[in-house]
Structure 1
Amino acid sequence: VPGTVGGAVIGNAGAHGGSIADNLLRATVLNPDGSLDEWPAARFRYKYRSSALKTLLRNSKSAPVVLSAAFQLKSGDTTAMEAWAAGFLAHRRSTQPTDPSAGSIFQNPPGDYAGRILESLGLKGYRIGAAQFSTVHANFIINLGGATAADVLALIDLARGNAWDALGVELVPEIMFLGDWPAQPPFQPLAERAP
């Protein structure tokens, strides 16, 4: 899950069957012109690990930035909720890497898991430079120390190409790439790429 509320709101972060869309009431955003807007939850038009704002960010060099968010949380027994959260945390620690990473790299394709696909392609533990598909969970790229954006991008491109060529599955990045990237906008649909 992204480390900030803004990232979680933009990417509709979630785990274990829940997501930000389930609880967001509204968010305050800073527009590129410096004005503030309050977006009700419906304006985000949430989808799996995506939102209208995430789409805007992918298609524009300037987009609103989430400054704050208000949530409607469910009430419950504190002891039971703490035990529930501790269980999820223990599960996460046993199934996901604790090394520095950006979280899940790819969205799960319908009916499957990105980590399972990457593992079936032999990419679990595969390394380029100082970036590596985790040996704990293949859908995480970890930084072994000094990894560059180019290292990470090369792993992502390799995985996407292999999944498409071997399985006809398009792995869609869950993470956002901001800034200037060489050659092409990253991650055009593989079915549309030039041979």
Structure 2
Amino acid sequence: MSPAILLLLAFGLSLLGWLAARSRAWAFRKAAPGVRLHSLPNFHGWYVALWVGVPAVLFAVLWNALSPALVTAHVLADPASSVLPAFGFERETLLAEARSVASGAAFGVFNDEAQALVEPYRTALTLYNSIGLAVTLLVAFAGGAFAFLRLKPDFTARTRVERAVMALLMIASLVAILTTIGIIASLVFET
């Protein structure tokens, strides 16, 4: 499954979580008008949206990094892979050719040995795309359920959302600092 689809799915589920949590916070306010919410309803929504979206995006990124190796291992375990050379450039070329045809990036194979691997690649791609989609949905719903069940009128959603945003800003600044150090080091040591 393409990374864009998984990211759009995570964004859509985050939006649904945001809307559900925000409406639940408004329901707290309407159920007990005298009780004051610790955080505004929007912060309750952002808290749930973060718990839905961040784990789903992290898993999607991890899955897109790991799934090609899993697909290749699945294809190599198929009996059709017995036509491949034991190792080397020719083996990698045949695998890449079969993968391109199976994924739709190419229309046909140049080597006849690669044709036998196209169908196992299609099967493996379908299987691992389905697994990735299912686990992404499961992770998103688990994170959303965890966050949604914690919502109460006295829940400190604002503090937790601000901490998450602060952590994100610190990570971004760390990446910027390390990038700058890397650029300066390459300028100093390459000349």
Q: TM-score range by the shorter chain?
A: under 0.3
Q: Return the structure number with greater helix share.
A: 2
Q: Relative contact order (alpha carbons < 8 A, sep ≥ 6): 1 or 2 greater?
A: 2
TM score, norm. by length of structure 1: 0.24
Greater CA radius of gyration, 1 or 2?
A: 2
Tell me which protein shows more strand as a share of its residues. Answer: 1
